[in-house]
Structure 1
Amino acid sequence: MTDRRDTRAFKKRASKAQKKGDMQAAALAWREVVKAAPAVSANWASLGAAESNRQNFQASAQAYRRGFELDPENADALAGYAGAMAALGNFDEALRACEAALETAPDHKNAFSVGAIAAQNLRQWSSMAAMARKRLGVKPEDADALKSLANAQFESGEFDAACAAYLKVVENAPKDAAAWVTYARLCLGAFNYEEGLRALDKAHEMASPTAQSFYTQGRLQMIMGDLEEAARSSRAAIDADRYFAPAYCQFVTLRKGKVDDEIKASIERLKNDARLPGEHRASLNFALGDILFAAENYPEAMASFEEANAITRKNLANEGRQYDRSHAEAEFNLMTTFCSLQPAPFVEESDEPKPIFIIGMPRSGTTLLQSILAAHPEVEGAGELNGIAEAQHDITQWALQNRGASFADYPQDRLRKWRGQYLGELRHMRAAKFIVDKQPLNFRSSALIKTLFPSAPIIHTRRNPVKTGFSIYRNDFAKAWPYAVSMSDIAHYYGVYALWSAAEIPKGSLFQYESLIVDFESEARRLLQHCGLDWDERCLSFHQNDGPVATFSATQVREPLRKSQSDIAALLGDFIAPLVDGLREANVDLKTGAPLERRWPLN
């Protein structure tokens, strides 16, 4: 039988040692406690805490583990074990323990905090969101949970939801300047620029600008076309914090890779700093690649682009988001058969916003075409909206669950819901008769578009596939496009896109980028005629339009078109051989990007 006086004496000794800061003595005292009372879960948890306090995380983890083995509902032991495992770098085990702790005690603060850190390191955004929602279920106004939920939603591309979650943070702490800056940054992701500017103004009213606020200000200025001010703000962000990687990347973009030696040296130093998140080191490598490419140092530029993509490949693997070739091929086979029979098109109302859809591969000229159209007084450019892509995903899932059915069988009420949601998204834009959606993923959705909006113009833009593929490879596209980290995967995806374009995209909708460059006015007139718009001379000066542009082409479309185009294949040779070889294998015309005869056994 345990002598309770003995355990009380050792506990008292441990408490005194902890107050004095003698963690070794405290741990020794707790070891005597568990020796005397080995079946008490709480005692093992206290030993785990003592070992953790003296940085002995292996011993701490063992003690905590014994604690929750004795009592699986001991949330303190589970959370403590998670903290020890996180300190040892085992974030997978840490996350599992935190999720178990929160099942037992949803309001356990330490379990949530460690779980959020583990999920962040693993880039497990769905797990982070689930833990945040569990905590918010018992503490609806918890700032840390709201911030984690917004972070997870933002990283998952759910920008509107992220803004809604973080708005509650600033509403509960209206004097927190840093929170307003973060909210402004989230608004950028949601294309809500006016709200972002409002949030940034509030932050600057409360406190001096920080690196983050300078950077966010620069991002807004770049989107709105004030490129010189954007460069100044980005440089100010660098001066405010020499370790703030995003500011360097933005500055390099604005200067088109032509920066001074000091900036280049800082990027070279920071890109190897293990303390920075992987996505920041990847972005710095992309920026360094741009600097070297502008200096015509192509071998080192390509090495930097490859290092950037290697880091990103690792991040995608951690998130379970690698590009799956067989999945892309299977989706094409499934949906082209599924869409052979289509539902009756909706009847459009005269007072509805009129969408114009620009589709094609990223970096193929979609932003240029949007800018030409948005220079027209009746047109607003909305950028890359997600509404059609979300509906397409739902339809694809339904097709998978209902093998043998066709698009004509898809529930009408769901089509009506997607149509209503998309129109609601358009109505958030500034008043304009026509609104341009240039979401590249919509090349898979011609049948859906023709059903929901039968009179909507569809514009298919295509560009030399080698230039398109290389431009994708040298930019940080992977959050939206997992194939972007590998030249051979880019080529494969281009081949799938080419098959979609041949099978689904309406004839007569094609605008070849190279033709636009050679005969700009004639092609611009054809573009407006295709959309049912009267000619307007302002479309020839699209680069002077002050509308927002939030894509990688934001700086390029603020300048007149340049007719001279470099031959990337001749310039880079063997460096892009995997891309060129992959395009040949996909049977894509290397000059135009047009699909040749179908070669792949797309099963």
Structure 2
Amino acid sequence: MNINQILNQAEQAHQSGQLEQASTLYQSIVNQQTSIDALYGLATVKMQQQDFASALPLFERALAIEPSALDISFNYILCLKHVNLIDKATELLARVIQSIPSNSDFIAPYAQLAFSLNAYKHTIAIIERNTQETPQLAILLVQSHMALGDWTNAITRLNQLKKQFPNNYEVLNNLAICYGKTLNFSLAIPLFEQLIMLKPDNDNYIRMADLYLLAQQKENAEFALNKVSSDMANNIQVLILRCKLARLNHNKEQALAFASRILEISSNASIAWQVVGEFGDDKQQSLLVEQLSSLIDTSNETSFESRQNLYTLGKAYEKRQQFKNAFQAFIKANESQRKELIDAQKQYSPSVVQQEYEQLKAFKYVEKSQLETTNNVFIVGMPRSGTTLVNRLLSQNPGAISVNESNGISATFEQLLQHMPQAEVGNYLKANANELVENYQKFIGIDNNIVIDKMPHNFRFVGAILATFPAAKIIQMRRAPQDLALSIYCQQFNDYHSYACDLPSIAHAVAEANKLMDYWKKVFPKQVYDLDYQNLVEAPTEQAKLLFDFLNLPWQQEYLNFYKQAVPSFTFSEVQVRKPINRSKIGFSTNYSLQLKPFTEAYNKLST
């Protein structure tokens, strides 16, 4: 037989699943001459047989002969993925993207391969080459935006799909998730209720209960949990949600009981240890330290759960005034997250932040918010600066409703300010003010006389807010830098707050935030109020009266009893705001003066 006949036999054996015979025939050709088809066929067979050590060099030989062959590149990337050489696979994928034809026969498999490598930006780039997008590719594109945390583009795409497929479960499910992630509960909840109509199973009732908890609808959360079948009573997800509900209701005994049941199932469950740390007696606190202390020396885990347990351990050490041990736990947790951010190329970038803030200051805002009445109050500042305390205080006014930390403002302004030419922004905000305010109101789903929004990082959008909202006031929270830095460093934040796991980065973030807030105060002195957390804590009646006067709201002394109400607050300050205002955390950072030295030195340089 000649080479072509042997190759035909090899390919027939390969297609019929006779891998050993195919391998022998391909190998006989490779032994006689350099054949690109035989090399590729043999490499593919070896990969199918999971003989990756033999497959990889064969793919490399084939690509050396025909480097632009997309079928060879695809299987080579797939083989690299199998042996966990993800970086090399992603690098090759990036090189071939521009060569992929714009039809779904090539686009679909390459896009799915890119997604499986967690190369979400590459997935988007591949799908956007396609001239005729299929529903499957549209969903994959959405999931890539979601994986990148690009909720705006994901929501835009999903709403387009929803018009085409109004009852498609996958479309509705992803859209509900996106609205939930952006805390847009007024839109997320109806979608989840629609999902339950389509599929009323335990999984959806559990997810619904979780969403209701986030939306502060405790009775609805209880109702959804009661819909879960009784044989799921000891399911860890159900127990965690019941524990959260008890915790938010400030039912200590019930929360501890659920925590105990959770720990019987999973000894590392972070929510359970948090509850023990917050509500447990001395014996339970000792057990916490005993069980979690090994994490400092032995744990190499980088999971959210592991880090959260380290923070909980650190706070337990603080209660014992073992500050050196406490900070070791905080360091371990933060170093873990910092490494994760660096590996994902999501680490904090001082230059990007400075550029963004300078651009925000460069826009020509035309102030619209000049009315004496107050309809919208925005409490802004760095996280852990006292926004939750002021939110609870202002919420005592019977005409006020808080949306807590809503993403409504960023959803309204962020993309607009990033992409619109600088010279057009001022006039656009002025001309479209009513529409922009309506968009925000639709997002929060509340129509009330006074709406309080305490999303801290809205300090970026003060200019845009005051250029569009006719009766808005801004409260900018300030806090002693070292106390603020410690409070940030000893909590786990999501990746958006990439500065929070590194002391010099915290210094930069705080310094730049203060500079931007100084600018807003200077430009809008009548609409912006600076409130120092320490001043409020040390003279609550005096400072609260001044604040309420600024907002043109009546003051009553009983408002300082806000802590007696078991109203949930979905921030790290949840427990603190259920106590009377006290100065226990004022100057608390002095216990860590040595450990905070990297922050202090960096902050002092940046501030001067």
Q: Is this contact kept in 2: 1:44–1:66, CA < 8 A?
A: yes
Q: What is the alpha-carbon distance in structure 1 between the residues aligned to residue 334 and residue 282 of structure 2?
A: 18
Q: What is the alpha-carbon distance in structure 1 between the residues aligned to residue 22 and residue 276 of structure 2?
A: 52
The DSSP-based 3-state class of the residue aligned with 1:470 is: helix
Which residue does 1:386 correspond to in 2?
407
Which residue does 1:376 correspond to in 2?
397
1:223 Cα offset (Å): 4.5
Which residue does 1:214 correspond to in 2?
239
Paired residue type of 1:118: L
Which residue does 1:590 correspond to in 2?
none
1:357 Cα offset (Å): 0.8
Q: What is the alpha-carbon distance in structure 2 between the residues aligned to residue 332 and residue 37 of structure 1?
A: 63
Which residue does 2:426 correspond to in 1?
408
2:332 equivalent to 1:307: yes
1:369 Cα offset (Å): 0.6
Distance 1:542 1:502, change over 3 A: same
Q: Is this contact kept in 2: 1:359–1:438, CA < 8 A?
A: yes
Q: What is the alpha-carbon distance in structure 2 between the residues aligned to residue 79 and residue 227 of structure 1?
A: 56
Q: Is this contact kept in 1: 2:429–2:468, CA < 8 A?
A: no
Paired residue type of 1:461: M
Q: What is the alpha-carbon distance in structure 1 between the residues aligned to residue 378 and residue 468 of structure 2?
A: 12
Q: Is this contact kept in 2: 1:218–1:233, CA < 8 A?
A: yes
2:384 equivalent to 1:363: yes
The range that moved more, 407-416 or 369-378, is 407-416
Paired residue type of 1:543: Y
The 5-angstrom pairing of residues 333-372 of structure 1 reads 333-339=358-364, 342-343=365-366, 345=368, 354-372=375-393
1:111 Cα offset (Å): 5.6
1:556 Cα offset (Å): 1.5
Paired residue type of 1:555: V
2:229 equivalent to 1:233: no
Pick from 77, 88, 94: which aligns with 1:82?
Answer: 77
Paired residue type of 2:353: A
Q: Is this contact kept in 1: 2:292–2:309, CA < 8 A?
A: yes
The DSSP-based 3-state class of the residue aligned with 2:554 is: coil
2:314 equivalent to 1:293: no
Q: What is the alpha-carbon distance in structure 2 between the residues aligned to residue 105 and residue 79 of structure 1?
A: 15
The DSSP-based 3-state class of the residue aligned with 2:600 is: helix
Distance 1:9 1:476, change over 3 A: closer
The range that moved more, 431-440 or 204-213, is 204-213
Q: What is the alpha-carbon distance in structure 2 between the residues aligned to residue 62 and residue 193 of structure 1?
A: 59
Q: What is the alpha-carbon distance in structure 2 between the residues aligned to residue 195 and residue 103 of structure 1?
A: 48
Q: Is this contact kept in 2: 1:175–1:206, CA < 8 A?
A: no
1:182 Cα offset (Å): 5.0
Paired residue type of 1:326: S
Q: What is the alpha-carbon distance in structure 2 between the residues aligned to residue 317 and residue 394 of structure 1?
A: 25
Which residue does 2:170 correspond to in 1?
none
Which residue does 2:185 correspond to in 1?
none
2:3 equivalent to 1:2: yes
Pick from 478, 483, 489: which aligns with 2:499?
Answer: 483
2:425 equivalent to 1:425: no
Q: What is the alpha-carbon distance in structure 2 between the residues aligned to residue 578 and residue 460 of structure 1?
A: 26
Q: Deviations over 1:58-77 (max 9, x none)?
A: 433344556677595755x5
Which residue does 1:594 correspond to in 2?
none
2:86 equivalent to 1:91: yes
The DSSP-based 3-state class of the residue aligned with 2:117 is: helix
Distance 1:186 1:96, change over 3 A: farther
Distance 1:84 1:232, change over 3 A: farther
Distance 1:447 1:239, change over 3 A: same
Pick from 436, 439, 443: which aligns with 2:452?
Answer: 436
1:425 Cα offset (Å): 2.0
Q: Deviations over 1:262-292 (max 9, x none)?
A: 5445545667555x55444433333332233
Which residue does 1:164 correspond to in 2?
176
CA RMSD between the two structures: 4.5
2:514 equivalent to 1:498: yes
The DSSP-based 3-state class of the residue aligned with 1:457 is: strand
Distance 1:94 1:231, change over 3 A: farther
Pick from 56, 74, 83: which aligns with 1:61?
Answer: 56
Q: What is the alpha-carbon distance in structure 2 between the residues aligned to residue 335 and residue 478 of structure 1?
A: 24
Distance 1:171 1:269, change over 3 A: farther
The range that moved more, 369-378 or 530-539, is 530-539
Q: What is the alpha-carbon distance in structure 2 between the residues aligned to residue 85 and residue 285 of structure 1?
A: 35
The 5-angstrom pairing of residues 138-149 of structure 1 reads 138-140=134-136
Q: Name stretches of at least 5 consecutive residues in structure 1 with no aligned partner.
A: 588-598
1:259 Cα offset (Å): 4.7
Q: Is this contact kept in 2: 1:358–1:459, CA < 8 A?
A: yes
Paired residue type of 2:401: E
Pick from 464, 467, 477: which aligns with 1:461?
Answer: 477
Q: What is the alpha-carbon distance in structure 2 between the residues aligned to residue 182 and residue 134 of structure 1?
A: 35
The range that moved more, 47-56 or 518-527, is 47-56
Which residue does 2:464 correspond to in 1?
448
Q: What is the alpha-carbon distance in structure 1 between the residues aligned to residue 254 and residue 269 of structure 2?
A: 19
Distance 1:111 1:179, change over 3 A: farther
Which residue does 1:570 correspond to in 2?
590
Q: Deviations over 1:41-93 (max 9, x none)?
A: 5x656544543455443433344556677595755x55543343234333233
The range that moved more, 507-516 or 448-457, is 507-516
The DSSP-based 3-state class of the residue aligned with 2:414 is: helix
1:235 Cα offset (Å): 4.0
Distance 1:86 1:455, change over 3 A: same
Q: Is this contact kept in 2: 1:159–1:186, CA < 8 A?
A: no
Which residue does 1:596 correspond to in 2?
none
Aligned residues: 567
2:136 equivalent to 1:118: no
Pick from 545, 548, 551: which aligns with 1:525?
Answer: 545
Q: What is the alpha-carbon distance in structure 1 between the residues aligned to residue 148 and residue 476 of structure 2?
A: 33
1:504 Cα offset (Å): 1.0
Paired residue type of 2:346: R
> Normalising by the residue count of structure 2, what TM-score does the alignment of the two structures yield?
0.76
Q: Name stretches of at least 5 consecutive residues in structure 2 with no aligned partner.
A: 159-173, 179-190
Which residue does 1:593 correspond to in 2?
none
1:152 Cα offset (Å): 4.6
Q: Deviations over 1:77-110 (max 9, x none)?
A: 5554334323433323334666858976579887
Q: Is this contact kept in 1: 2:30–2:39, CA < 8 A?
A: yes
Q: Deviations over 1:318-362 (max 9, x none)?
A: 3333222233333444433434xx3252799x9xx9321111221
Q: Deviations over 1:9-47 (max 9, x none)?
A: 6864997776xxxx8x87556534666796565x65654
1:571 Cα offset (Å): 1.3
The DSSP-based 3-state class of the residue aligned with 1:586 is: helix
1:471 Cα offset (Å): 0.5
Q: What is the alpha-carbon distance in structure 2 between the residues aligned to residue 106 and residue 227 of structure 1?
A: 58
Distance 1:87 1:370, change over 3 A: same
Pick from 317, 322, 325: which aligns with 2:347?
Answer: 322
1:467 Cα offset (Å): 0.6
The 5-angstrom pairing of residues 117-136 of structure 1 reads 117-119=116-118, 126=121
Q: Is this contact kept in 2: 1:288–1:304, CA < 8 A?
A: yes
Which residue does 2:188 correspond to in 1?
none
Distance 1:462 1:294, change over 3 A: same
2:31 equivalent to 1:31: no
Q: Deviations over 1:493-529 (max 9, x none)?
A: 2222222222212547222222222232333333333
Pick from 486, 490, 501: which aligns with 1:470?
Answer: 486
> Normalising by the residue count of structure 1, what TM-score does the alignment of the two structures yield?
0.77
Distance 1:416 1:93, change over 3 A: farther
Q: What is the alpha-carbon distance in structure 2 between the residues aligned to residue 133 and residue 207 of structure 1?
A: 43
Paired residue type of 1:513: Y
The 5-angstrom pairing of residues 135-214 of structure 1 reads 137-140=133-136, 150-153=146-149, 163-164=175-176, 174=199, 177-178=202-203, 181=206, 185=210, 200-204=225-229, 207-214=232-239
Paired residue type of 1:586: L
Paired residue type of 2:511: G
Q: Deviations over 1:208-266 (max 9, x none)?
A: 45323333443454445545544443443333234555654565466599955554455
